[in-house]
Structure 1
C-alpha cells in the first residue's frame, strides 16, 4: 500500500507480471479493513502515509496476531530506519527508487521466511 497512485500502479503492474494476485490500497486503514477472510501472503507498505503510518499498520497486524510478512518501502534516507523496521518485525526495507529485482527478491524472501509458497497459498 502506498498513498501515491503512481507508485501503487507501478507496483501492481510489476507484481501482476510476476504472477502475483494483487490488491492495491491507498491507506493503512483501507488495507486493515480488508483483512477479513484471507490475509495476503505479503504486504508492501509505505512507511510514511497520511493517517496510519507503516509502523502503525505493522503494529496492528501483530496485535491482531495476523502473521502477514511486511516489506516496507520509503523515500526517506534516514540511516536508523533499518534497525527500527527490523525491530517492528518487518522483513525488509526498500528505499525508493528500488529496482524490480530488489522488490521481487524482498517479497520472495518475506514469503519464504513465513513458511508459505508464493503462488496460490
Structure 2
C-alpha cells in the first residue's frame, strides 16, 4: 500500500531516461526522487527511504550491482528493479548470482516496468512485513 511519504527512487546517469521514467511514474500516481549517481542515491538513504528503487546497471560511477551490494551491506530493505541496455547473455547469470530478481532490458514497456515495481514492492512487504 502506498503511503503519502513513500516514493520510488530512479537512479540513472542518463537525464533523458530519468525524465521519461519520472513522467511514467507520476502518471501511475507514484511520488519519486531522481538521482544521477549511485553515490547520490546511497547518501540519501539516511533521510529518504524509498518504497522501491529503479537502478541502471551501467552507470559511470557505481554500477547497479555495487549500489545493491552497499544497500545489503547496510542491511537496508530497499527492493530494486534493475534496468539495462545490455543484451549480454552473461549478464542474466551475473544478475541472478547477485540476487537480482527484477531485471528489465531496454527498451521495456510501461506495463513491464510497473509490473516489476509491483512485484518488487510485494516481495519486500512479504519479507519485511
TM-score > 0.5, shorter chain as reference? yes
Spell out, residue by residue over 1:51-79, the C-alpha distance to the aligned partner (whole angstroms, 9 max, x if none): 10000000000000011111110000011
Number of residues of Structure 1 aligned to a counterpart in Structure 2: 116
TM-score (norm 1): 0.91
RMSD: 1.2
Which has the larger displacement, 32-41 or 92-101? 32-41
**Is structure 2 residue 71 aligned with structure 1 residue 61?**
yes
The SS at the match of 1:30 is helix
Q: For structure 1, which runs of at least 5 residues remain unmatched after alignment?
A: 117-121
Q: Offset at 1:15?
A: 0.5
Rounded Cα–Cα distance in structure 1 between residues aligned with 2:93 and 2:102: 10
Structure with greater strand percent: 2
The equivalent residue for 2:100 is 90
Rounded Cα–Cα distance in structure 1 between residues aligned with 2:101 and 2:114: 13
Q: Segments of 4+ in structure 1 off by > 4 A?
A: none
The equivalent residue for 2:84 is 74
TM-score (norm 2): 0.86
Spell out, residue by residue over 1:41-98, the C-alpha distance to the aligned partner (whole angstroms, 9 max, x if none): 1110000101100000000000000111111100000112222222222331101110
The equivalent residue for 1:49 is 59
The answer on whether the counterparts of 1:69 and 1:90 sit within 8 Å (CA) in structure 2 is no
